[in-house]
Amino acid sequence: MRLATVNISGSPRVGLVDGDDIRLLPEHEGDMVALIAAGWARIGQIASDPDLQSVPLSSVRLMAPIQRFGRDVLCTGWNYWDHFEESRGKREGQDVDRPKAPTFFTKAPSTAIGPYDEIGLDRHISAKWDYEAEVALVIGKRCRSVSTAEALDCVFGYFLANDVSQRDLQRRHGGQWLKGKSIDGTMPIGPWIVSPDELDLAEIRLEMTLNGEVMQSALLKQMAFPIAELIAELSFGMTLEPGDVLLTGTPAGIGNAREPQVFLKPGDQMVVSATGLGELRNKVVAADLHGDTDIPSMEQAG
């Protein structure tokens, strides 16, 4: 099954994607997070109602599937060894040894936008805007210190993300990633959440194209730390809740590691796709995100 959030008369509504249509679930059943907590079995019962309203997907705007976040977006760094190695010596004095366990960080929920929304780029904020295609997952039940064998049972479903990053902000703030990953409206997610039974995780191919050119392409089985291990490590002594989102890392091909480097600019078209998960299509546009700040321009600083 595939669940999406769409804009209906100015309000978010959750629906079950059925071919070219979406069957809207009753508003009283709650938002996406409430439905995640209820589980797929309950969603199946709701969806069995033949009287559910159905509308063409082409007639509605797809929104970020999750609109309500209980915490920061959880993220994984360096989870493809080719990505870790491509950036060696290019981290501007912030290189580290190859990690022996997953590297986790967080980013602000205010980054999340819809799968086809525009991404505003402000060179005052950053001169080094980069792309990162990722597969994300959403937790389906409360869990803590789960075993690797049990970990995938805690996953409600999977979707796509583009972890657009500002590399100079990462360096400016001591190499920690929160600030350089948390600019408002820069992380498209979606287009819908896919149930695990529809996917062969290891064989999913994740790709990212920029203006029609393939920049990233990898199979999920190339991950340094498989998804079950990520969940086991992240939940080690730390409670995960239904609706928590985890990005699982990006493969090689990022703009910052290329020679010459490739950074995003207004007019660029990005497409992130993966087997069974659909695609994100986002245009980069010029925007004023700095307002009346007295922080110096990062473009001039670079």
pLDDT in tens, 64-82: 999 999 999 999 999 999 9
**CATH 3.90.850.10 residue window(s) in the chain:** 73-301
Could you report the per-residue pLDDT of 132-152, keeping only the tens digit for each?
A: 999 999 999 999 999 999 999
What integer pLDDT is reported at residue 91 of this predicted model?
63
State both tokens at 95: 């290189």
Can you tell me whether residue 21 is helix, strand or coil? strand
DSSP designation for 119? E
Residue pair 135/161 in contact by the 8 Å Cβ criterion: yes
DSSP designation for 56? E
The span from the CA of 245 to the CA of 22, in Å, is: 23
Q: Which fold has domain 73-301?
A: Fumarylacetoacetate hydrolase; domain 2 (3.90.850)
User: Residue 55: beta bridge partners?
Assistant: 22
pTM: 0.96
Q: Shortest CA distance to 253 belongs to which of 222, 225, 276, 275?
A: 222
Could you report the per-residue pLDDT of 41-64, keeping only the tens digit for each?
A: 999 999 999 999 999 999 999 999
